[in-house]
Chains A and B, each alone.
Chain A
C-alpha cells in the first residue's frame, strides 16, 4: 500500500507499485482533470505538479511518490470558485476542444510558482513540452499573461 498526498489530502492506495499516477488519479481518486493523451509522455495532457514541478503523470509510477506533494487541476479551484489561473483561461477562452487544457494549466501553474512575472519568451519556452492540436496557443499565452498580472 502507498500513501499519496494529493491536493492536501492523504490517500491510501492499493495496487501495483508500477501503476502510473494518472490511472490512480482518474480511476481510484476520481480526479478526472488530468487526461490520458498519448500515454507515452509525449503530449502533456496528463501533466500534474509534484513538489512544484510539472510531471507527465502517465509516466510516473505511484511507487516513486511516497512523501511528495501532488497537485492536480482540482487543487487549483472548483467549478464554482475557479482559481486565478483557471479564471484567466476561461476569460481568454483558451480552450477549443479542451483536452490539453488541464495539462496546460498545470504546467503554467508551475511556471508562475517559480517566476511570477514571466516574459513571453519564458512562457513559450516553458510551455513547449505540452501540445495542443487545435492551435489555441495565442489564447493560452494570453491566459498565462493575464494570470501573471500582465495586461494583454
Chain B
C-alpha cells in the first residue's frame, strides 16, 4: 500500500517537472546578438527628429526617468497591484542601457515585449500597445534613443513576488492576453481619425490607464476606455461613461492634451500632467488627430444628453454661497472649511479672476465616481515641476485632519456636482496619507 502511494507521488512529481521543463522550453525566446554601439552620425537627422516626436507621443520619458534623475536613464518606480517595476535605462549606455541592442532587438522589444537577451519584459512596459506601430516609426524611435547621451545607471530589479518574478511566466500571460499585430486603418474613417487611432492606440497607449484591468493585470478589452487607474489616481472614462458634465468637444480635447488645462473640464493631474507636457511637443496636426479619435469614443450627442449638459452648465454657473452655507452639523462644518480654505480661489465654485480655476461644477475630478483624485489634490495641492511656471494650489493635507477632508469632500460633491455622493472617502484619505511625501 505504502509502495503504491510512493509510486503515485513519483508520477505526479515527474509530470510536474516535465510540465515546468516543457513550459520553460516553449517560453524561451532566443537572444539577439549584441552589436557595437551605433555611431550617432549613422542616423539621419530627419529620422532622429521623427523619433523625437514619436517618443513624445509615447511620453516614454515619464516612466524611463527617475525623480531628479537623468532623462531616459530609468529607475522610475511604476507601482502595480503586484509589486513595483522600475522603468529601464533606455539610453545607449552599453552596460546599463540599450547600447548593445541592434535595431531588430529594439523592434522586437517594442513589438513582442522580449528583451535583447531573450527574457520577457513585464507589460508595465506597454508593448501590448506598441505592437501596433509601423516599422518606420519603430526604427525612428531607435534612431532617437541611440543618439541620446549614454548614462551609466543601473536600475533596481522589479519587486515582484513568486511566481511573477520568474520572467518566463509572462509567456503564459502573453498567450492569454497579448495580441501581436500592426495597426490596421479603418477605411470608412477619415485619415485624421485613423492617424489619431494609430497614435492613441499604439504609442499613446491611452487605454493602458483609461481601461479597467482584470485580476491578471490585463486590460479588459470589451471595456476599453471605460476608466481605470494609474499610480493611485483615477484615469476617467473617455467614452460612454465619461464623468464630464459637459461633453468634450474635439477642440477642447486638443487644447487639454497639449496645454494640460481646459476651463470647461479642468487641469491634467497625476500621471496625466506629465503626459500633456510631452504631447505639447507634438505637431498640432497629431494632437488634433488624437483629439478626433478620443472624441469619437463618446456616443453621438442625444437630446437627453444636451438637456443634462445645459442643466449642469446652469448649475455650475449659478451656485451661490447662500445655498452653499445652508445646513447643519457635518454639512455646515464642510461648508465652513470650504469658505475658509477654498473660497478665496474657488468662490461659489466659480472661476475667480486670479487663477481662473475650473468651475467646480464642471470639474471632472468633482464629478468622477471616485473621490481619490479630489482627495489627492486637496491634500497635496498642485505644484508645477520645480523651476517651471504653472498652476498652483496650496496643499491642505497638513492643515486639515482626515475627518475634515472627508467632510469637505462630501460638501463639495453634494454642492457642486449633480452626481450621487461619494463612498469610501475616508479610505481614500487614509490611503493618501500612507503615500510617500504626504
Contact = CB atoms under 8 A, between A and B. Distances in A.
B394 A20 contact: no
A53 B337 CA distance: 19
A40 interface: yes
Q: Which of A20, A53, A64 has its CB near the most chain B CB atoms (within 10 A)?
A: A64
B344 A40 contact: yes
A54 interface: yes
Contact of B337 (A42, A63, A129): A63
A41 B394 contact: yes
Interface in B304-361: 333, 335-341, 343-345, 354-355
A20 B333 CA distance: 14
A118 to B, nearest CB: 17
A119 interface: no
In which size bucket is the chain B interface?
A: 20 to 34
B230 interface: no
Interface in A59-80: 59-64
B419 to A, nearest CB: 25
A61 B337 CA distance: 6
Nearest to A125: B386
A80 B172 CA distance: 75
Contacts of A54: 398
29 contacts: A18-B335, A18-B336, A18-B340, A18-B343, A20-B340, A40-B344, A40-B345, A40-B354, A41-B345, A41-B394, A42-B392, A50-B398, A50-B399, A54-B398, A55-B399, A58-B344, A59-B394, A59-B396, A61-B336, A61-B337, A61-B339, A63-B336, A63-B337, A63-B340, A64-B337, A64-B341, A64-B400, A64-B404, A129-B394
Interface of A: 16-20, 39-42, 50, 53-56, 58-64, 128-129
B401 interface: yes
Contacts of B404: 64
Contacts of B393: 41
B344 A59 contact: yes
Contacts of B401: 64
Contacts of B344: 39-41, 58-59
A129 B345 CA distance: 17
A15 B401 CA distance: 21
A123 B404 CA distance: 30
Contacts of A128: 386
A39 B399 CA distance: 16
Interface of B: 333, 335-341, 343-345, 354-355, 386, 392-394, 396, 398-401, 404
B415 to A, nearest CB: 14
A20 B338 CA distance: 11
B267 to A, nearest CB: 16
A54 B339 CA distance: 21
A8 B338 CA distance: 28
Nearest to B335: A18
A128 B400 CA distance: 21
Contacts of A64: 337, 340-341, 399-401, 404
A66 to B, nearest CB: 10
A39 B393 CA distance: 12
A36 to B, nearest CB: 12
Given A41-B394, A59-B341, A64-B404, 17 more contacts: A16-B339, A18-B337, A18-B340, A40-B344, A53-B399, A59-B340, A59-B394, A60-B341, A60-B399, A61-B339, A61-B341, A62-B340, A63-B333, A63-B336, A64-B341, A64-B399, A128-B386
Contact of A61 (B340, B345, B394): B340
A55 B404 CA distance: 15
Nearest to A121: B68
Nearest to A21: B340
A135 B189 CA distance: 57
Contacts of B336: 16-18, 61, 63
A18 B336 CA distance: 5
Contacts of A20: 340
A86 to B, nearest CB: 23
A18 B338 CA distance: 8
B385 to A, nearest CB: 12
A54 B401 CA distance: 14
Contacts of B333: 17, 63
Nearest to A20: B340
Contacts of A16: 336, 339
